[in-house]
Every structure is written in C-alpha cells, then in structure tokens.
Structure 1
Amino acid sequence: MDSAIEKHCSELVARERSGHTALIERNVLYVWGGYVSIADDEVFLPNDEIWLYDLERGVWEMCRMSGEVPPPMSGTCGCSLNGDMYIFGGCDDNSQTNQLYCVNLLDGKYTWRKVSHKSGSPPSPRDKLSCWVFNDRLIYFGGYGHKQLDDINNNRSFLMDEASWMDDIYWGWNNEVHMFDPTSASWSEPHTSGCAPDPRAAHASATLCHKGYVCGGRIRETRTSDIYCLDLESWTWSEIVPASNVPVGRSWHTLTAISDSGLFLFGGLSIDCKPMSDGWVFDVGTKKWREFEHPYMNKPRLWHTACQGKDSDVIVFGGSCNYILLVDTGHCNDALVFQIQPYPLFRICEDYIAKNVKNCKMLEKQLPFVPPKLLPAVQKRISFFQTTKKI
C-alpha cells in the first residue's frame, strides 16, 4: 500500500503529518506536503498529491498533481488568492528555499507552476514564516533561514543563530516584510515604520480588514505571546498591549480570523516545551484575551494548520501531539472542528436532522418532504455524521 495512503474504517484518509500546508476553498479542505517521523528519520510526504476533505460530507479524496511540481517540503507558507494556492519557502532535503509555486484549486487539474518574477528580489531562503493576503498581494513576514554575511544589513532585521553558520553563510530569525504582486510578477520590500516585532519564526498570523496581526513565535531560545499589528495601507507597525490575562508564550501555534474583530489562537509549544491544547479568542477592539472552552483539551497540537470554515468554524488539521524535536513524535491526521460562534438557525436544524435521522423513524419518514433546494445539503450532513462516527 502507498505509504501516504491509509485505509481506516473502510474510508480513505490523509496520512498524519506536521509542517504541511492547508487551505479551504468552497467548503473543501486542501492539504499538501509536510513530513512524518519514521524511526530515526524525518520523511517528507509525496509532493505530487493533494488531499481534499469535503467538510460537508466528511469524505477524503486524493488527487495526483502534475506540472512544475515543487520538491517535497515542510514549513512552507501557503495562502489562497482567487482560487490559487501559493506556497513560498519551506525546507527540503537541501535546506531552506525561497521559491514560489502556484496551483489552481478549482479547475480540477492540479497543475503546479513555478512562479518567476519580472522585477524585484525574493526574500532570502527561509521556512516557518507567515503570510497576509491583502489587495490581491501576498505579504510575507519573518521566518528562519540563511543569508550570506554581506546580506546581513543590521541586527534589528536579522538575528543570527550563533550555533548555526558555515563559511560566510549564517542562519537566523528575521522580521522582514516582503510583498509579491502576482499581476506584475514583482517582489518589493515595503518600508515600514513604528514598533516592529523582534525577529522570529514559528509564529502565527492572521489578516483582519487592512491589518495583519502577528502573535508569539520563537526568538532564539525563548517563546513569546506578544501581539503586533501591521497596517497594510500605511505600513505602520504597532504593539498591542492586552488589557487582560494573556496566553503563555508559545511557538508552532495558529491564529485564525473568526470575525471582523476576533482572532482564535490554538495550541503550540510552550516556553517549557510542553505541547498545548488551549484555545483563546482575542478581541482587537477591546484588546482582551479570553480563554475558550472546547472539547479537544485532550488533543494538544503543534505545527498544525487552522483554517476558517463555514459559519466561523475553525478547522484544525494534523500537527504533532508531542514535542516534535523528539524521535518518533506523534503526528496526527484528524480534523478538529471548533465552533467559535453560535450557528444560524438553518445550520442548527440541518445538523439536528442529520444527527438523529437514523434513530428517529418520524424524521426518516419525513426526510423526502424536505424542500428540494434544501435536501442535498441535509443529505451531505447526514453523510458527514455517519462518516465521522466510523472514524
């Protein structure tokens, strides 16, 4: 059997992984890349396949990819723009990279193309960075990677890792902001002002309106829970000082937009290298954190992905439940659905019918009388709950 395919309860499911890329388009979760631990080795997962999880039916599908396929990688930065998935950077068998690739998720062909630039210069090779999408442009921040000594301008934008260097090449963390415009195929480095965050990697970020938010991450040997905002119109940084208790410092966590003023933080690796399972909601208006109760407190995750789904759900997939620098770490392949906001009435009714139709003869008899425009949605939800009960 293909090492990347697992049969579980007669259903096809994506293999467990960490450091992968995941996006949601039209209520389908797309998963690419990442790695698993096998014995003493870290093994990249196949680069010529993409996994699709139908969030309405709860069914996985694997599709082959073609074209200018990127190398197998982890730690890439993925984002979605107009139905295209872009990945930048990451770490392959040779080291960090600074290549940009694109694939259309909606045409059903899944043909990769390597994106060339006509002007400007791409960021230096790096992984564990983050991205904001604004005004049809891709804006990248931070990460861990390498530069030649002549390219290190100052210690404020690049923090050298004193334990990692070779000849005139140095590894370290950065707080650079780079922008790619797909229309003009151009790279640029906007001049920012204000109070910028320290250089970091394995942080989390999210976009709200015209602002990009950064939370936590690793800065040398420490992990933080600070939060910064970059105005993507004026290019002005500002530090946000929370008006309430804050989560503990962490890296390899996620931050997901859930409303016009809300951000959801989940998981990560704490300052004392403890895998986390706590969830927090940050209100950018009041500048207050509040801890969020959820049913997955026994499922810590780090280096997972989190995407905003239907009705402000947050879909967390994969990641590790252990400290990933240990051998044979416990990678995961389940999708955790966090209900952050109250559901609309239709969603409540739809889910109630889907959960109970097989145990209630009255509901089962009345199902054919559901209006034709609504019946397909209800049938998909029935399929979803039947499938997830098996797994």
Structure 2
Amino acid sequence: IPTMTDFHNFCVAEKRSGHCAVVDGNLLYVWGGYVTIENNEVYLPSDEVWLYEIDTGLWQMCLMDGEVPSPMSGSCGACVNGVLYIFGGYDDIGYSNQLYCVNLRTKNSIYTWKKVKNFKGQPPTPRDKLSCWVYKDRLIFFGGYGCRKHSELNDFFDVHDATWEGQTFWGWNNDIFVFDTVKKTWFQPAAKGVPPQPRAAHTCAVMGNKGYVFGGRVLQSRKNDLHYLDLDTWSWSGEIKVNGEKPAGRSWHTCTTIADDQLFLFGGLSTESEPLSDGWIFSVKSNEWTQLKHLPKDKPRLWHTACFGKENEVMVFGGSKDDLLYLDTGHCNDLLIFQTQPYSLARLCLDCIGKNAASLQSQLSWLPSRLLQEVMKKITFWAAVRHREKAGNYTLYSEEEEQWYKLN
C-alpha cells in the first residue's frame, strides 16, 4: 500500500496553456504549449510527452525522437487509431501549417515523430487556435487565426491586420480542410449552407455524423453561437436557434461529447475578458442548454484541454486562470475530473476499497490475483489523489463525496 514516503514519486505534468491532449486506451497524453517566465512566453519542449494513467492516477514523462516538431502553442492535436496528429500552431518564427504524427501504441514507450511529407493535395494556410473533428479516419479542420498572402485572400478569411509592404495579412478563417489519414491526402470539400463566421479559439465536437462548433473569437467579439456541419454531405446547419437560456459568449473554452446526444461545455474567456468556470450541458433532443449549478467558482480555466475518459469522465488539464491577453501568469497543471454518468457497481466497489485500504489491508490477500491487481491500481490512485488535493493540483467532481458534483 502506498505510504507517505512514496508521495515524492507522484509527479505531475508541468504547468502550461495552449497545449494538446488526447486519450488513447487507459492513457491521457499531454504535449506542447507554453508558460510565462518573467513576462516571456516560453514554449515547452516538443521532444517530450506526459502520460497520465487513468487507472492509477500516476504521471510520467517520456522523451520523443525522430522528426520532432518545433515547440509551439495553439496547435491542433487529435488521435486516430492510436496515432497522434499535430497540425499548425505558433512559435517564435510564426504560424505553421505542418502536419506531424506519432504512434502512441509503440512498444517500450519509444515515441518517434514523423513529419507528414509525401501527401497529395494542398494543406491549409498557416494558423493556430483552430479545431478539428475526427470522423471516418479523417481529420477535418475548421477555422483558426493565421496569415495569408494577398493571392490567398477569399471569402473564408476576415482580415485583422496587414503588412502592406510584404503583402502579408493576418486574420480569422472559416474554411474546411480535410486530411485523409489512410490515403495521405488533403482536400477542401465544397460546403453547402451558411457557415459560421471566421473565428479562432472556438471548440469542435463530433456527435454521430455531425461536427458541432461553439463560440470563439470573431473580429472584436466572442460568440456563443452553435452550428453543426454534416460530415457526410458537407452541409452547414446555420446557427442553431436553441430553446431557453444559453451560455455567454466566450473563447478558449472546451466542448466535449459525453453521450450520443449531449455536449459538455466548460470554461473559457468571456466577452468581458473574464476567465470562466461555468459548465453547461447541451441536449440535442430538447435543443436546450442547461447550466450546472454546483460547479466550483474558484477553478476558472481558459486555453485548457478536455478529454473524454473510458468511464464517461471529462478530464480537464492545464490552461490558465487569468486573462492571457492582459495577465499571462496564471498557468495551471491541475487535473479536474468531471463525472458525467453514474459509475458501475464494480468501479464503486474498487473505489471503496482503494479509499479504505489501510483498514482492509489484512484482507487484501484474500482477493483473486487478477482482482487484486485492479485493487492495487485503485489504492495507488486514491493515494495520489489525496496527495495532489493537498498540493492543490487535483480535483474530482461527482456525487460520490460531498465536494463532488454529478453532471447529469
């Protein structure tokens, strides 16, 4: 049973914002992003990836080799069949439109980056703060803030600034680009309907064959509009007219699919430049947003990541608790875990043993070996949770304990 002497081993990933995170199997992977040191933006090493084991609650850092991307923030990361893809982002040189991939299911935790080079078609223009949908082995990218040449200007781009001498333009995009991971091909579908305004720092989520978009930065405002794209016919829905109250406009938030007909929205930066800690559920059946009343008010997050775990949990990692545009010092490395569905009886029993391991220690040897392995993982998990809660970098929300809150 882990004791206090083991707590020095319970490390946690470094603080960061603008990073990428994905879940594959029993592991949460965190890569990239930046922190602020003495008013300077410092990009975190791109030759390392942090792994969080969901069963045990333990973190570890693994080095990476191969064709390593530049250290960046604002890249778009997504996982397809155990392969992590990273597209775009921003570094000291400027905006990127390069695509990299790494196999997460490699043996012996040897992670080797590959730059995707021998592809067909034309990739998007350089940009960051974009989002994507994963559908039928395809990465479907939407929006983002970046730069274009004069010859690349079109109706899918809102100009924010320009260097006339060099004919370089910066602004927001609302185009759609698809990368087929099987055929290694980029293509731009001819979308129908009315698309969302060009934007960045929005969020995307897939439900069935529909790709949803919510909010983001649009010119001088932050939106709270909801749209979806039919990923089979490439038809835009137009803005969805929801029933009743809806979330405030925001950017740098997350929206996660938690059921066949539900989205979970969390955090972001408001139209008044206030960091947000509110949570909302959107139901497709009722076409309504419902605000979650019992979430903590002292855990605002923006430019964080949110991943759906194997037991219907939303795992929010990192981000900032400050307005990054004015006070860029509040980067976080805590992990907020939101329970979105009731746990199974087996999970509840394992948690009960894990929390009360000291009093049950003499009886653990009675368990079958396979079950004992699962119990030991939960003992480790709850020891790590208690340690990190004391340090302020781990919080869980469910109805199982008084400080937890269930989302549905």
Instruction: Specify if TM > 0.5.
Output: yes
CA distance in 2 between partners of 1:110 and 1:371 (Å):
35
The Cα shift of 1:295 comes to 4.6
**Are the aligned partners of 1:74 and 1:91 in contact in 2 as well (CA < 8 Å)?**
yes
2:168 is aligned to 169
The Cα shift of 1:356 comes to 1.9
CA distance in 2 between partners of 1:307 and 1:354 (Å):
24
- The answer to whether structure 1 residue 382 and structure 2 residue 379 are counterparts is yes
SS of the residue 2:72 aligns to: coil
The Cα shift of 1:165 comes to 6.2
CA distance in 1 between partners of 2:192 and 2:185 (Å):
22
1:106 is aligned to 105
- Aligned ranges 1:80-91 → 2 under 5 Å: 80-91=79-90
1:48 is aligned to 47
1:371 is aligned to 368
The Cα shift of 1:181 comes to 0.9
Amino acid at match of 2:299: K
**Are the aligned partners of 1:275 and 1:302 in contact in 2 as well (CA < 8 Å)?**
yes
2:308 is aligned to 308
1:125 is aligned to 126
**Are the aligned partners of 2:46 and 2:69 in contact in 1 as well (CA < 8 Å)?**
yes
- TM, length-normalised to structure 2: 0.90
CA distance in 2 between partners of 1:94 and 1:294 (Å):
43
Deviations 1:96-153 (A, max 9, x none): 1000000011102100000024321000000000010111111000000011111112
- Aligned ranges 1:315-326 → 2 under 5 Å: 315-326=315-326
The Cα shift of 1:164 comes to 6.8
2:70 is aligned to 71
* Unaligned residue ranges in structure 2 (runs of 5+): 1-5, 389-408
The Cα shift of 1:9 comes to 4.5
**Are the aligned partners of 2:322 and 2:328 in contact in 1 as well (CA < 8 Å)?**
no
1:259 is aligned to 259
Identity level (%): 52
The Cα shift of 1:326 comes to 2.6
CA distance in 2 between partners of 1:11 and 1:140 (Å):
36
- TM, length-normalised to structure 1: 0.94
- The answer to whether structure 1 residue 183 and structure 2 residue 207 are counterparts is no
CA distance in 2 between partners of 1:272 and 1:210 (Å):
34
**Are the aligned partners of 1:91 and 1:126 in contact in 2 as well (CA < 8 Å)?**
yes
Deviations 1:254-286 (A, max 9, x none): 010101111100000000000000111111222
2:357 is aligned to 357
Amino acid at match of 1:121: Q
**Are the aligned partners of 1:353 and 1:378 in contact in 2 as well (CA < 8 Å)?**
yes
CA distance in 2 between partners of 1:286 and 1:46 (Å):
45
CA distance in 2 between partners of 1:162 and 1:72 (Å):
25
The Cα shift of 1:371 comes to 3.4
SS of the residue 1:316 aligns to: strand
CA distance in 2 between partners of 1:193 and 1:166 (Å):
36
Amino acid at match of 1:326: Y
CA distance in 1 between partners of 2:164 and 2:368 (Å):
66
Amino acid at match of 2:144: G
**Are the aligned partners of 2:267 and 2:276 in contact in 1 as well (CA < 8 Å)?**
yes
2:136 is aligned to 135
2:406 is aligned to none
CA distance in 2 between partners of 1:342 and 1:275 (Å):
29
Amino acid at match of 2:83: D
The Cα shift of 1:343 comes to 1.1
**Are the aligned partners of 1:13 and 1:61 in contact in 2 as well (CA < 8 Å)?**
yes
**Are the aligned partners of 1:39 and 1:328 in contact in 2 as well (CA < 8 Å)?**
no
Amino acid at match of 2:189: P
- Report the more deviating stretch, 9-18 or 66-75: 9-18
When residues 8 and 224 of structure 1 are mapped into structure 2, their CA distance, relative to the original with a 3 A threshold, is farther
The Cα shift of 1:342 comes to 1.2
SS of the residue 1:306 aligns to: strand
SS of the residue 1:240 aligns to: coil
CA distance in 2 between partners of 1:383 and 1:162 (Å):
52
**Are the aligned partners of 1:132 and 1:212 in contact in 2 as well (CA < 8 Å)?**
yes
CA distance in 2 between partners of 1:29 and 1:118 (Å):
29
CA distance in 2 between partners of 1:183 and 1:314 (Å):
29
CA distance in 2 between partners of 1:350 and 1:102 (Å):
36
CA distance in 1 between partners of 2:370 and 2:291 (Å):
39
